[in-house]
């Protein structure tokens, strides 16, 4: 009897769900209606599903578990069958996700589909340059295209959600995760954040090839003291709002579907229980409608932070602050039930989060087609498509930064008699993938050595000597390299960091090239042969000796599967390097944190003794923010700007750039401002515009910028975002130091 009633009950629910699905498809099919009507339709459907859910099923929707590649554990399957899982991460593949999704849709009481998430940071299987390298292109459109390719491959493999873009501003290169972001500047970081959100999410979340993006790690994770990952962040609200929040705001304005709350505390309040950031700013000020997922057990870690005395307490703090889904902590699943019963949380707080999760599932089209990304044939045709590799090569070419090129030693001639390539990283197939490389495989990578071998002419000889270990001196190898150098026209040293020396939990207290490789560089320099240093790195490195003694230095970061081809394209002049640094390179780690948009202080560095300086090192960086050379040279002229603008007017700025070299080249024209006198102290420079332009040899182009008065904002003493009249300086140039400047006044009326 009970059984029959249960079965009957089940079939009623199934029929109701089918009705909901039918009306959903119908109503979303009518989505020709304006956005608002669609929103209302979806909200109605969300409410109808919510009304059917038990309390356990509601907590289940807020529970995300970590899968195991192409399967889940028996224990996870049991939870899933009870409707106690809303999402899996780290389950990927069209077939694998379909298997797990079938359990959710066909074997649970309500059949609510799962959302599958994964770290698709700079490519899914076709791995692009690491985000810090992509930021060096200063080309948001190109970065958007790269994210689109990643989304196409990820969605073909059963995924609906990527935990990217990582938009953390980083001013401390000791912090290993600087590699995953877009560097030190909020304006460039905001442009890259919005570009990646557009690329991942496309025109609509339920378009084929779209996946939901996730701006992370909300917020100020990159401000970790001493550059140590997960460490304390203690910054002013002004720094929070002016430096760390803008890229998240840009992501929200670009329509990002989710954010991830960070591990770190912010001035005593952990990011995963921070009402200021998660409620007041994100919901009330920015009107964000999407969902917030915690970082991996970051809710549970509130106990370690010492703000929660127990698991339930941690869950209460996070849910109330505004974290909607618990990644792998199982607190929302297991511990909130009691908190609800004894009134420490309210049912509407639970419902609020469940509705946000359901809404994203509707927007992703999962209710109308839960198996939408589970076609193995599509997967096979999409993964590592040749067009994707071609795109990866193009992004890699533009990510390369030429830091030095004395005596124009570069580009090399393809028909040179012999070239010696040295360094353990030159033949590495895994390191060019960089950290966070998704399903990237070493077998897919073109090494730097291979790229060079493919590029040179048939009669050229490419010699290779490992020369050293990554950080272990090998006298025999070193001697071999010395001997081979005598037979080479030029020596190319590929040196720097392995992929594991940056990324999560990979902070470094020192910033130099590992000693063994540094010795190898010196030994090659001592041979008297022309030496080119190809730097492979996931962060700014302190390379004072190399900067002072090596004629040519190319920074290639971690360029992904097409690394070798892109490096060869630039080395031999097929492509003119055009990358610009998105982060400052210090002379020594002792200068850190060092960044271009610093304050002036009351005693700025000068020839006077009692000023803000070091006794042993200049205060200037080795290579400044925005810096990068070309095989061409560019001249700036006719810099024009009005001398004053009214409160709601825009300052038109124009400048002419001429390619004074003998080959086509790209230049990234940068525009900075300085607010000379504010009600609070202001940076000596702030990036407010950039434009990448291509110029043939001798060609001139006029570039115009429109500086609107609301771009001159600051947060005043009352923490209000305002624009204040007064004197400003506007700068233009090819980096943050070599600039033309003009003063102008923002009038009060």
Binding positions for ligand GLC, rule: CB under 6 A? 89, 119, 163, 216, 295-296, 504
DSSP letter for each residue of 515-581: HHHHHHHHHHHHTTS-EEEEEE-SS----HHHHHH-SEEEE----GGGHHHHHHHHHTTSS------
We find the least distance from the C-beta atom of residue 298 to ligand GLC, in angstroms, to be 8
We find the least distance from the C-beta atom of residue 175 to ligand GLC, in angstroms, to be 13
Q: How far is CA 102 from CA 11, 96, 97, 327, 369, in A?
A: 17, 10, 8, 22, 12
3-state secondary structure of 265: strand
Is the CB of 162 or the CB of 447 nearer to ligand GLC? Answer: 162
Q: 94-106 and 74-81 helices cross at what angle (nearest 10)?
A: 40
127 in Cβ contact with 184 (< 8 Å): no
Beta-sheet strand order (sheet of 552-555)? 401-405, 552-555, 531-536, 490-496, 418-422, 461-465
Is the CB of 119 or the CB of 379 nearer to ligand GLC? Answer: 119
| Ramachandran quadrant class, 327 (left: phi over 0; alpha: psi -120 to 50; beta: rest) | beta
Is the CB of 296 or the CB of 557 nearer to ligand GLC? Answer: 296
Find, among 564, 334, 612, 586, the residue nearest to 454 by Cα. Answer: 564
Q: 563-571 and 386-399 helices cross at what angle (nearest 10)?
A: 50
Shortest Cβ contact with ligand GLC: which residue?
163
Is the CB of 163 or the CB of 288 nearer to ligand GLC? Answer: 163
How many other C-beta atoms can be found within 10 angstroms of the C-beta atom of residue 302?
28
3-state secondary structure of 437: coil
Active site residues: 295
We find the least distance from the C-beta atom of residue 117 to ligand GLC, in angstroms, to be 8
How many other C-beta atoms can be found within 10 angstroms of the C-beta atom of residue 593?
17
Those residues whose C-beta lies under 8 Å from the C-beta of residue 541, and which sit 6 or more positions away, are: 173, 496, 497, 511, 512, 513, 535, 585
**Residue 282 gets which letter from DSSP?**
I
Is the CB of 296 or the CB of 558 nearer to ligand GLC? Answer: 296
Is the CB of 292 or the CB of 481 nearer to ligand GLC? Answer: 292
We find the least distance from the C-beta atom of residue 305 to ligand GLC, in angstroms, to be 16
How many other C-beta atoms can be found within 10 angstroms of the C-beta atom of residue 149?
24
We find the least distance from the C-beta atom of residue 149 to ligand GLC, in angstroms, to be 20
Is the CB of 262 or the CB of 542 nearer to ligand GLC? Answer: 262
Beta bridge partners of 261: 218, 294
We find the least distance from the C-beta atom of residue 121 to ligand GLC, in angstroms, to be 8
Is the CB of 162 or the CB of 670 nearer to ligand GLC? Answer: 162
Find, among 519, 581, 517, 593, the residue nearest to 555 by Cα. Answer: 581
We find the least distance from the C-beta atom of residue 438 to ligand GLC, in angstroms, to be 11
Tokens at residue 523, please? 């030994």
The distance from CA 445 to its chain's CA centroid, rounded to whole angstroms, is: 21
Find, among 15, 41, 19, 44, the residue nearest to 29 by Cα. Answer: 41
Alpha-carbon distance 293 to 330, whole Å?
13
Report the number of secondary-structure helices (H) and strands (E) in the chain.
23, 26
**Residue 349 gets which letter from DSSP?**
H
Alpha-carbon distance 566 to 249, whole Å?
33
Is the CB of 134 or the CB of 546 nearer to ligand GLC? Answer: 134
- b/e per residue 364-380 (b: at least 16 CB within 10 A): bbbbbebebbbbeebbe
We find the least distance from the C-beta atom of residue 65 to ligand GLC, in angstroms, to be 12
Alpha-carbon distance 168 to 173, whole Å?
13
We find the least distance from the C-beta atom of residue 603 to ligand GLC, in angstroms, to be 39
We find the least distance from the C-beta atom of residue 211 to ligand GLC, in angstroms, to be 14
We find the least distance from the C-beta atom of residue 180 to ligand GLC, in angstroms, to be 8
Three-state secondary structure string covering 306-373: CCCCCHHHHHHHHHHHCCCEEECCCHHHHCHHHHHHCCCCCHHHHHHHHHHHHHHHHHCCCCCCCCCC
Alpha-carbon distance 168 to 131, whole Å?
11
Kindly calculate the radius of gyration of the chain based on its CA atoms and give it in whole angstroms. 27
Is the CB of 131 or the CB of 423 nearer to ligand GLC? Answer: 131
Is the CB of 67 or the CB of 586 nearer to ligand GLC? Answer: 67
Residues in the chain: 749
Q: Is 687 exposed, middle or buried (0-12, 13-18, 19+ CB in 10 A)?
A: buried
We find the least distance from the C-beta atom of residue 89 to ligand GLC, in angstroms, to be 6
Tokens at residue 554, please? 């190319």
Is the CB of 185 or the CB of 295 nearer to ligand GLC? Answer: 295
The distance from CA 531 to its chain's CA centroid, rounded to whole angstroms, is: 33
């Amino acid at each position: 009897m009970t059984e029959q009633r249960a079965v009957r009950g089940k079939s009623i629910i199934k029929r109701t769900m089918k009705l909901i699905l039918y009306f959903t498809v119908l109503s979303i099919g009518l989505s020709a209606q304006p956005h608002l009507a669609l929103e209302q339709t979806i909200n109605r459907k969300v409410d109808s599903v919510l009304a059917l859910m038990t309390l356990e099923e509601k907590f289940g929707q807020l529970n995300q578990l970590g899968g195991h590649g192409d399967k889940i554990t028996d224990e996870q399957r049991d939870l899933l069958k009870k409707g106690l899982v809303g999402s899996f991460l780290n389950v990927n593949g069209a077939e694998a996700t379909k298997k797990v999704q079938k359990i959710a849709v066909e074997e649970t009481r309500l059949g609510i589909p799962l959302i599958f998430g994964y770290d698709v940071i700079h490519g899914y299987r076709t791995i692009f340059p690491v985000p810090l390298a992509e930021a060096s292109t200063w080309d948001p459109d190109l970065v958007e295209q790269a994210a689109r390719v990643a989304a196409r491959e990820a969605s073909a493999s059963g995924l609906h959600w990527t935990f990217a873009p990582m938009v953390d501003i980083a001013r401390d290169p000791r912090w290993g995760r600087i590699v995953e972001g877009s560097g030190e500047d909020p304006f460039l970081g905001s442009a890259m954040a919005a570009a990646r959100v557009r690329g991942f999410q496309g025109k609509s979340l339920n378009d084929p090839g779209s996946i939901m993006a996730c701006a992370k790690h909300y917020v100020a994770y990159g401000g970790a003291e001493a550059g140590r990952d997960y460490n304390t962040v203690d910054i002013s609200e002004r720094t929070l709002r002016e430096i760390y929040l803008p890229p998240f705001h840009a992501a929200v304005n670009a329509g990002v579907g989710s954010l991830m709350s960070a591990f770190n505390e912010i001035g005593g309040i952990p990011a995963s229980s921070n009402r200021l950031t998660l409620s007041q700013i994100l919901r009330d000020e920015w009107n964000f409608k999407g969902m917030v997922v915690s970082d991996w057990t970051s809710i549970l870690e509130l106990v370690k932070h010492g703000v929660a005395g127990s698991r339930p307490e941690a869950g209460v703090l996070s849910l109330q602050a505004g974290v909607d889904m618990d990644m792998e902590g199982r607190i929302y699943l297991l511990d909130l039930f009691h908190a609800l019963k004894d009134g420490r949380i309210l049912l509407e707080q639970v419902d609020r989060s469940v509705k946000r999760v359901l809404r994203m599932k509707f927007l992703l089209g999962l209710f109308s087609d839960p198996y939408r990304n589970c076609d193995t044939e599509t997967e096979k045709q999409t993964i590592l498509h040749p067009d994707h590799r071609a795109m990866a090569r193009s992004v890699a070419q533009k990510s390369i930064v030429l830091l030095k090129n004395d005596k124009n030693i570069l580009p090399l001639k393809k028909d040179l008699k012999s070239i010696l390539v040295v360094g353990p990283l030159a033949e590495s197939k895994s390191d060019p993938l960089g950290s966070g490389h998704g399903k990237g495989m070493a077998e897919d990578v073109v090494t730097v050595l291979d790229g060079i071998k493919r590029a040179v002419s048939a009669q050229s000889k490419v010699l290779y000597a490992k020369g050293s270990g990554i950080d272990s001196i090998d006298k025999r190898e070193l001697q071999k390299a010395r001997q081979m150098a005598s037979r080479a026209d030029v020596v190319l040293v590929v040196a720097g960091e392995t992929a594991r020396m940056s990324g999560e939990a990979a902070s470094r207290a020192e910033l130099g090239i590992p000693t063994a490789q540094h010795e190898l560089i010196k030994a090659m320099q001592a041979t008297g042969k022309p030496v080119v240093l190809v730097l492979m790195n996931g962060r700014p490195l302190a390379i004072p000796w190399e900067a002072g003694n090596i004629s040519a230095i190319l920074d290639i970061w971690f360029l992904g599967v097409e690394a070798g081809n892109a490096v060869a394209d630039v080395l031999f002049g097929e492509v003119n390097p055009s990358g610009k640094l998105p982060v400052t390179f210090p002379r020594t780690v002792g200068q850190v944190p060092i960044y271009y948009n610093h304050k002036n202080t009351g005693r700025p560095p000068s020839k006077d003794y009692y000023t803000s300086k070091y006794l042993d090192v200049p205060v200037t960086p080795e290579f400044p923010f925005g810096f990068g050379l070309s095989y061409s040279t560019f001249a700036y002229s006719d810099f024009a700007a009005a001398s004053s603008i009214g409160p709601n007017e825009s300052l038109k700025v124009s400048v002419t750039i001429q390619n004074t070299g003998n080959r086509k080249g790209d230049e990234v024209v940068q525009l900075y401002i300085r607010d000379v006198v504010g009600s609070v102290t202001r940076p000596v420079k702030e990036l407010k515009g950039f434009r990448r332009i291509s110029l043939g040899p001798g060609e001139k182009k006029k570039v115009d910028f429109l500086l609107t008065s609301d771009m001159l904002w600051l947060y005043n003493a009352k923490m209000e975002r305002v624009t204040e009249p007064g004197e400003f300086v506007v700068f233009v140039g090819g980096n943050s130091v070599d600039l033309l400047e003009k003063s102008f006044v923002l009038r009060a009326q």
